[in-house]
């Protein structure tokens, strides 16, 4: 049964696949919204510091554990750190399971908005169309919610079953460059709008007086989500990396690209919103509002070349989401493959189907079915969707991330981590001492603070 493990065809292929995992709804949907909520400027700076001081060290820790063992999350933690640490890998698999179950619901929305805007591009924006009311009706439609999520899940399963090279890497090689080009087109168009100067000032003007402690923790929590850390995804992706490739270089590129794309998306959305009088006030209500209620119409009324860019924008959202759902499913499927010897196609279908059972409840919890919509485990969180998101962002990722910092910084030996990070070459700026300091002290203290904030002060990151 011992088959040769598949590997990325090159370091570049790996960087694209891992960047695809990192770049997703977190960049296009969540980051702009939390930047908005936290008044930009100082929050953006804090976020960048969190990415560099906590995200980057944990990224390297996960990648090195994966590449060293050439195993997926559970077996990798068991082998690299110790038998009991397999549980941390299992916690990661569960996290992937939970995140994918609700993530795919929003991913499905991109299909609807792509189709809708493509229709408008062809036949014109309908007169008197109320996007808010339309969205509310859409959320209530159980059939549409489940159907779109099912299509998205089916495509994800199809790609994961095709394997690391022919499925995951090949998809990333096509989608990521397309995604980048669309983003650049949108950026050029948005920056030509008169609101762009104000948007950039909002993003980069540092006003620390409005920064709250909660904002700092929120930035940190988001750093995990956006870089796909704390759940073993990067362990699994690292496990398909050959010993000839540099973990440090690849990790740095992934982190930089993810951050750049989040900033670009934010600049685009804010430039559009700031160009329309009165829009600033309207957007405040929810993250959903920005992406799916305010923006579609603005493309046609405000954005230069908007009638071409609108469908492209929702295509971008769909592509970004797809390369992330692939990674999430791979975490679960690779567990079945490596740990239980399940054949890949079967593993992809079984894990996808089990996750989808939860997706059905999440997609019906936006109003379609009362029991699911009022379901409440966490205080004040209404509905299956909101509770899953809360559990993953507040509990699963921080706890997983915290344990990974302990594993790499305190349990694994200095010799083991140093040798693995060095294998495959290191860039000139690399300092093992700096990494070790951050993974042993800075990252666990920072992530520990999130956990304390959640448990003791009820702070909410979802
Ligand atoms: N990083 C993704 C985003 O920002 O949308 C979310 C995610 C994808 C988390 C894949 C974890 C993962 F394995």
| 310-333 pLDDT tens trace | 999 999 999 999 999 999 999 999
Could you give the C-alpha distances from 442 to 395, 405, 426, 436, in angstroms and in order? 20, 10, 22, 10
Could you give the C-alpha distances from 360 to 103, 140, 374, in angstroms and in order? 12, 13, 15
Pocket test for ligand 1, best of 17, 18, 19, 22 (most atoms within 8 A of CB): 22
Pocket test for ligand 1, best of 33, 106, 219, 233 (most atoms within 8 A of CB): 233
User: Residue 301's CB: how many other CB atoms inside 10 A?
Assistant: 11
Helices (H), 11-71: 11-22, 25, 31-37, 42-50, 56-69
Average confidence (pLDDT) over 323-345: 97
pLDDT tens digit sequence for 346-370: 999 999 999 999 999 999 999 999 9
Helices (H), 240-294: 247-274, 279-283, 287-288
Ligand 1 atom nearest residue 31's Cα: 4
* pLDDT of 1 above 50: no
Distance of CA 210 to the CA centre of its chain: 27
pTM value is: 0.96
Please tell me the distance from the alpha carbon of residue 298 to that of residue 302, in angstroms, as a whole number.
Answer: 5
Give the Å distance between the CA of 415 and the centre of ligand 1: 31
Angle 306-340/344-363 helices, nearest 10 degrees?
Answer: 120
Class level of CATH domain 11-457: mainly alpha
> Does 32 contact ligand 1 (Cβ within 6 A)?
no
Residue nearest to atom 9 of ligand 1 (CA): 228
Per the CB < 8 A criterion, the answer to whether 109 and 291 are in contact is no
pLDDT tens digit sequence for 202-233: 999 888 887 888 888 889 999 999 999 999 99
Q: Could you tell me how many residues make up the chain?
A: 462
Q: What percent of the chain has pLDDT over 70?
A: 98
pLDDT tens digit sequence for 444-460: 999 999 898 888 777 77
What per-residue confidence (pLDDT) applies to 284? 63
> Does 121 contact ligand 1 (Cβ within 6 A)?
no
* pLDDT of 421 above 50: yes
pLDDT tens digit sequence for 363-418: 999 999 999 999 999 988 999 999 999 999 989 999 999 999 999 999 999 999 99
**Among 50, 2, 10, 9, residue whose Cα is nearest residue 262:** 50
- In terms of pLDDT, which residue wins out, 67 or 36? 67
* pLDDT of 434 above 80: yes
- In the block, residue with structure tokens 């804010």: 270
Residue nearest to atom 8 of ligand 1 (CA): 324
What per-residue confidence (pLDDT) applies to 286? 63
Per the CB < 8 A criterion, the answer to whether 53 and 446 are in contact is yes
| Residue ranges per structural domain of the chain | 11-457
Q: Where are the beta strands (DSSP E) in 264-376?
A: none
Residue nearest to atom 7 of ligand 1 (CA): 228
**Among 22, 107, 28, 99, residue whose Cα is nearest residue 290:** 28
* pLDDT of 7 above 60: yes
Per the CB < 8 A criterion, the answer to whether 402 and 447 are in contact is yes
Pocket test for ligand 1, best of 227, 328, 332, 389 (most atoms within 8 A of CB): 328
- Residues with Cβ within 8 Å of 437's Cβ and at least 6 positions away in sequence, in order, are none
pLDDT tens digit sequence for 43-55: 999 999 999 999 9
* pLDDT of 343 above 60: yes
């Amino acid at each position: 049964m011992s088959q040769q493990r598949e590997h990325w065809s090159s370091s570049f292929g790996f960087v694209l696949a891992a960047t695809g995992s990192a770049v997703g709804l977190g960049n296009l949907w969540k980051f702009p919204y939390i930047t908005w909520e936290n008044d930009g400027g100082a929050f953006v700076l804090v976020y960048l510091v969190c990415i560099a001081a906590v995200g980057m060290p944990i990224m390297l820790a996960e990648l090195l554990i994966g590449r060293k063992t050439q195993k997926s999350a559970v077996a990798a933690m068991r082998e690299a750190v110790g038998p009991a640490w397999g549980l941390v890998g299992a916690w990661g698999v569960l996290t992937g399971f939970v995140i994918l179950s609700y993530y795919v619901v929003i991913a499905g929305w991109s299909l609807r908005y792509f189709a809708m805007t493509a229709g408008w591009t062809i036949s014109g924006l309908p007169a008197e169309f109320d996007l808010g009311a339309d969205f509310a009706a859409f959320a209530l439609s159980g059939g549409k919610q489940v159907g779109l999520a099912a299509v998205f899940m089916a495509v994800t399963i199809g790609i994961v079953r095709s394997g690391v090279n022919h499925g995951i890497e090949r998809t990333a090689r096509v989608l990521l460059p397309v995604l980048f080009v669309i983003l650049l087109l949108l950026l050029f168009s948005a920056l030509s709008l008169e609101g762009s100067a104000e948007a950039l000032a909002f993003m980069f003007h540092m006003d620390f007086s409005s920064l709250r402690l909660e904002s700092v923790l929120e930035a940190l929590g988001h750093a995990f989500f956006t870089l796909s850390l704390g759940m073993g995804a990067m362990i699994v992706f690292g496990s398909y990396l050959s010993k000839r490739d540099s973990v440090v270089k690849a990790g740095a590129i992934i982190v930089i690209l993810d951050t750049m794309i989040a900033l670009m998306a934010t600049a685009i959305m804010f430039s559009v919103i700031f160009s329309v009088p009165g829009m600033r006030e309207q957007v405040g209500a929810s993250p959903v509002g920005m992406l799916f209620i305010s923006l579609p119409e603005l493309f046609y009324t405000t954005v230069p070349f908007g009638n071409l860019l609108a469908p492209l924008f929702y295509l971008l959202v769909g592509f970004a989401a797809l390369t992330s759902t692939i990674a999430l499913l791979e975490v679960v499927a690779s567990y079945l493959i490596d740990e239980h010897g399940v054949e890949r196609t079967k593993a992809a279908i079984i894990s996808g189907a089990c996750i989808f059972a939860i997706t059905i409840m999440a997609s019906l919890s936006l109003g379609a079915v009362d029991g699911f919509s009022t379901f409440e485990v966490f205080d004040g969180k209404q509905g299956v969707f909101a509770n899953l998101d809360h559990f993953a962002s507040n509990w699963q990722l921080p706890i997983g991330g915290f344990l990974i910092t302990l594993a790499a910084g305190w349990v694994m030996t200095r010799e083991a981590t140093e040798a693995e990070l060095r294998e495959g070459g290191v860039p000139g700026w690399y300092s093992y001492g700096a990494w070790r300091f951050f993974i042993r002290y800075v990252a666990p203290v920072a992530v520990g603070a999130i956990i304390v904030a959640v448990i003791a002060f009820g702070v909410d990151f979802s």
